[in-house]
């Protein structure tokens, strides 16, 4: 079976800098970016990118160095990348109902400008925020592996498939380490406790778990390219986590089923029967 990852050879293996890693986070004022910055500001030297500095809430100002850059402006992107070790690329149009005209500029052309800016400034690693929408076209009862072909269920998912291909191109042709993280339903634990949270039971990604995965991706020194799945350790998983846990030592702690009120009295570990278990007549 074909792998969804490429390891560095012994001669290629990069070394982490002796100082704290300098990480550029694009779209840093969003939910994922701000959660990452809040949890990781003591471990990495963060440069936090937004289009408009006046949009940064006061509560986030002290999380790192805030810079203004636009995915439509290659020069501002190069400036944002200068002196950076790794880019965590979160900026995108993220609406599954967005039109192609709304998606193509930030998600395709903007991504290309970002990658070019990183390449020209000598950035060695990019973590690309893909989405479960890149494979949401599969039947709902199918667990998706990282080796399964992309199968988007909407045009937003199509742009994420193209983005995955683009970052792999930059990895293979320009020597960058490029790790793709397909993110599920990124929500606080409190959201998993709501009565209507059953809809995200199998795709829930807690703040704690996803940030831990992104941190592990940044610190990894063995992978030149990989597709990884970004959900929590849910009892029912839409995305298979076996590759992700093995490749970057991901150890998610949260499980949406433990939080959902409707399942509070259900012991899933002992209630689900083996498929071939004989039942009494």
- Whether 7 and 222 have beta carbons less than 8 Å apart is answered as yes
Q: Which two tokens stand for residue 238?
A: 């839409």
- Whether 203 and 185 have beta carbons less than 8 Å apart is answered as yes
Residue with the two structure tokens 């998993």: 192
Each residue's pLDDT expressed in tens, for the chain with a length of 281 residues: 578 999 998 788 887 788 899 999 999 999 999 999 999 999 999 999 999 999 898 889 899 999 999 999 999 999 999 999 999 999 999 999 999 999 999 999 999 999 999 999 999 999 999 999 999 999 999 999 999 999 999 999 999 999 999 999 999 999 999 999 999 999 999 999 998 889 899 999 999 999 999 999 999 999 999 999 999 999 999 999 999 999 999 999 999 999 887 776 665 556 545 444 444 44
Q: What span, in angstroms and rounded, lies between the C-alpha atoms of 33 and 92?
A: 12
The structural domains of the chain, with segments of one domain joined by +, span 5-271
Residues 214, 144, 266: CA angle, nearest 5 degrees: 85
Under DSSP, the state recorded for 145 is: P
The CATH superfamily of 5-271 is NAD(P)-binding Rossmann-like Domain (3.40.50.720)
Under DSSP, the state recorded for 150 is: P
Q: Which two tokens stand for residue 163?
A: 């983005």
Nearest residue to 49 (alpha-carbon basis) of 37, 40, 58, 39? 37
Is 195 buried (19+), middle (13-18) or exposed (0-12) by CB count in 10 A?
Answer: exposed
């Amino acid at each position: 079976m074909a792998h969804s990852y490429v390891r560095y050879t012994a001669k290629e293996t990069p070394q982490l800098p002796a100082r704290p890693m300098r990480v550029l986070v694009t779209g840093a004022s969003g939910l994922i970016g701000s959660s990452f910055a809040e949890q990781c500001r003591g471990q990495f030297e963060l440069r936090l990118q937004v289009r408009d500095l006046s949009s940064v809430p006061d509560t986030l100002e002290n999380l790192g160095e805030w810079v203004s850059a636009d995915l439509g402006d290659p020069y501002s992107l190069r400036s944002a990348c200068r002196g950076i070790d790794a880019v965590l690329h979160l900026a995108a149009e993220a609406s599954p109902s967005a039109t192609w005209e709304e998606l193509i500029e930030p998600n395709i052309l903007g991504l290309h400008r970002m990658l070019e800016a990183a390449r020209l400034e000598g950035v060695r690693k990019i973590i690309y925020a893909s989405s479960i929408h890149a494979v949401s076209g599969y039947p709902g009862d199918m667990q998706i592996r990282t080796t399964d072909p992309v199968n988007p269920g909407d045009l937003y998912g199509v742009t994420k498939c193209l983005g995955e291909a683009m970052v792999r191109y930059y990895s293979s042709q320009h020597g960058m380490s490029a790790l793709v993280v397909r993110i599920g339903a990124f929500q606080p634990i409190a959201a998993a406790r709501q009565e209507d949270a059953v809809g995200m039971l199998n795709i829930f990604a807690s703040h704690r778990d996803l940030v831990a995965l992104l941190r592990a991706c940044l610190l990894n020194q063995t992978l030149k390219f990989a597709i990884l799945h970004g959900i929590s350790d849910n009892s029912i998983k839409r995305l298979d986590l076996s590759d992700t846990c093995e490749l970057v030592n991901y150890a998610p702690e949260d499980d949406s089923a433990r939080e959902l009120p409707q399942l509070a009295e259900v012991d899933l570990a002992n209630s689900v029967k083996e498929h071939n278990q004989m039942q009494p007549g």
